[in-house]
A and B are shown apart, each in its own frame.
Chain A
């Protein structure tokens, strides 16, 4: 299963490192990544493959949300299909 991981917060060193380390720890592979500064906020969007992860998506989402809080960013993990449903015919 693929998921969209969005990371938004005040820019500071280490956001990518801390996020990707946690994804690696959970067995999640990053397939695509883009990052920009939007209205002063660090905004990173990752496409992740969860097929190597043993935990269900809902649990992964809450683990990463808590992880993000520990260094001041919002991390959200959402099923990729919902974005496809909304934006693709």
Chain B
């Protein structure tokens, strides 16, 4: 029999500490939608997504009601559209079909407007990349991603240079919305095939026809647990995080198993990432501050984050039969009230954020930079982040918003889960001659493991 203490602890996690399941993401293969006719491919894509994900939202809501724990986002991730659209070449049309399908089934976002170009780029992938700004500016729910590097392949610097220019174009095309298209686009190193989180979710080519991936959350629960070990040493901190992560992940595991059964889909993975939201009490930054920093960004921040990220994984891994996705602490600036405050107060710089990404997933996320930041500087930031991922054999990503017409200290406002962020400074020195060299940064020596 459960004790009252255990039951009340769970109730408090939901009521006071924002425990939720952050997302149920259904991966859907679109390989059977390939056609040389764009009209036919778009029709097949719409039909497949709406048929396969028809019950995703009602099933998620039903499960949430049964367990009394909110399931915040319901999403779909599809096979990279750069592959599916290759025979017809009209990628934007396929993007619009995805957007309509997302609207019909009532999901929040649909990911997979994606190209994997870490080693080289085919002509159709090149055409696909050109289509991304128009695709994102003319749709509401589609998210795009590009993988520009991997530990096995090195860094495709031609793709890195292209991404810098693309991000500028996306910002310009959505100038009236603070560059919103940039919030729906992420560039990766070591992208994973089963990520349930946006903007980078896509259904990898190694996945089945329909698969359920679940992202748990609960920064508020971890922070609250740490309040009970105030003043104790860091071993006690790590143990507390582990135990809390175990409980949170078990919720995700149960939800993923139930959702997969009810939707007749494969159970994919549970992603252990701690994901913040902009509301008070749901912040990863506040966990780090609970460990003893006066503000996130202080010297010591990277060490605190390393401890947190490791303990979350150690606690979570035993709680789930299949762990995957990104699985680490997220540090998006605009979506975390503690991060926003630290940037505003000048305690958190782009350089410190970059250092933090070397010990956690996933990268420089939802950071607003001045609108006049040159494309080559954006590419330089991405190259650095990709190098961290490639050398450390981990996923890293960049989702920056060069906010049109905005300067350091101004604000961008996206609303909802995407939040708001102060524009922060980038380094003024010029990396453009390096970016223009192009070519490929070779894979690191430790990628040769065979």
- Asked if A26 is at the interface (CB within 8 A of a chain B CB), the reply is no
Interface of chain A residues 29 through 54 with chain B (CB within 8 A): 32, 34, 36, 38, 43, 45, 47
| CB-based contact B11/A76 at 8 Å | yes
- Asked if A70 is at the interface (CB within 8 A of a chain B CB), the reply is no
Interface of chain B residues 41 through 75 with chain A (CB within 8 A): 62, 65-69
- Asked if B250 is at the interface (CB within 8 A of a chain A CB), the reply is yes
Contact with A along B94-112 (1 / 0, CB 8 A): 0000000000000000000
Q: A-B pairs with CB below 8 Å: how many? A: 63
Q: Contacts A79-B67, A82-B69, A82-B251: A34 and B4 contacting too (C-beta < 8 A)?
A: yes
| CB-based contact B254/A85 at 8 Å | yes
A37 → chain B, closest Cβ, in Å? 12
CA distance A82 to B9 in the complex (A): 13
- Asked if A17 is at the interface (CB within 8 A of a chain B CB), the reply is no
B316 → chain A, closest Cβ, in Å? 13
- Asked if B233 is at the interface (CB within 8 A of a chain A CB), the reply is no
| CB-based contact A82/B65 at 8 Å | no
Closest to B65 in A: A58
Interface of chain B residues 226 through 255 with chain A (CB within 8 A): 247, 250-251, 253-254
Contact with B along A44-81 (1 / 0, CB 8 A): 01010000000011100110000000000000111111
| CB-based contact A78/B66 at 8 Å | yes
Closest to B62 in A: A58
Contact with A along B325-339 (1 / 0, CB 8 A): 000000000000000
CA distance A61 to B62 in the complex (A): 11
Contact with A along B1-15 (1 / 0, CB 8 A): 110101111110000
| CB-based contact B4/A36 at 8 Å | yes
Interface of chain B residues 1 through 41 with chain A (CB within 8 A): 1-2, 4, 6-11
- Collect the chain A residues with CB atoms within 8 Å of residue B8's CB: 6, 38, 43, 45
CA distance A32 to B6 in the complex (A): 15
- Asked if A24 is at the interface (CB within 8 A of a chain B CB), the reply is no
Contact among B2, B11, B68, B251 with A61 in the assembled complex (CB-CB below 8 Å):
B68
**Size bracket, chain A contacts:** 20 to 34
CA distance A82 to B257 in the complex (A): 12
Closest to B254 in A: A85
| CB-based contact A86/B250 at 8 Å | yes
B199 → chain A, closest Cβ, in Å? 30
| CB-based contact A6/B251 at 8 Å | no
CA distance A4 to B11 in the complex (A): 11
A41 → chain B, closest Cβ, in Å? 11
CA distance A78 to B2 in the complex (A): 13
Contact among B1, B7, B65, B251 with A85 in the assembled complex (CB-CB below 8 Å):
B251
- Collect the chain B residues with CB atoms within 8 Å of residue A85's CB: 250-251, 253-254
| CB-based contact A6/B11 at 8 Å | yes
| CB-based contact B66/A47 at 8 Å | no
B266 → chain A, closest Cβ, in Å? 20
| CB-based contact B66/A32 at 8 Å | no
- Collect the chain B residues with CB atoms within 8 Å of residue A56's CB: 62
- Collect the chain B residues with CB atoms within 8 Å of residue A58's CB: 62, 65-66
CA distance A85 to B257 in the complex (A): 12
Closest to A84 in B: B2
B335 → chain A, closest Cβ, in Å? 26
CA distance A70 to B80 in the complex (A): 52
| CB-based contact B1/A82 at 8 Å | no
CA distance A47 to B66 in the complex (A): 15
- Collect the chain A residues with CB atoms within 8 Å of residue B65's CB: 57-58, 61-62
CA distance A45 to B2 in the complex (A): 10
B279 → chain A, closest Cβ, in Å? 21
Contact with B along A2-33 (1 / 0, CB 8 A): 00101010000000000000000000000010
| CB-based contact A83/B68 at 8 Å | no
| CB-based contact A45/B66 at 8 Å | no
- Collect the chain A residues with CB atoms within 8 Å of residue B10's CB: 82-83, 86-87
- Collect the chain A residues with CB atoms within 8 Å of residue B69's CB: 82
- Collect the chain B residues with CB atoms within 8 Å of residue A81's CB: 254
- Collect the chain A residues with CB atoms within 8 Å of residue B7's CB: 4, 6, 45, 83
A88 → chain B, closest Cβ, in Å? 8
Could you list 18 further interchain pairs (A-B, Cβ under 8 angstroms) beyond the known A82-B67, A86-B250, A88-B2? A6-B7, A34-B4, A43-B8, A57-B65, A57-B66, A58-B65, A62-B65, A80-B2, A82-B68, A83-B2, A83-B6, A85-B250, A85-B253, A86-B6, A86-B247, A86-B251, A87-B9, A87-B10
Ranked nearest first, the 10 interchain pairs of A and B with the lowest CB-CB distance are A58-B65, A78-B68, A82-B67, A87-B6, A85-B250, A85-B254, A86-B247, A79-B66, A57-B66, A86-B250
Between A and B, 21 residue pairs with Cβ closer than 8 Å are A4-B2, A6-B7, A6-B11, A8-B11, A32-B1, A43-B8, A45-B7, A56-B62, A61-B65, A61-B68, A77-B68, A78-B68, A79-B66, A82-B254, A83-B7, A83-B10, A85-B251, A85-B253, A85-B254, A87-B6, A87-B9
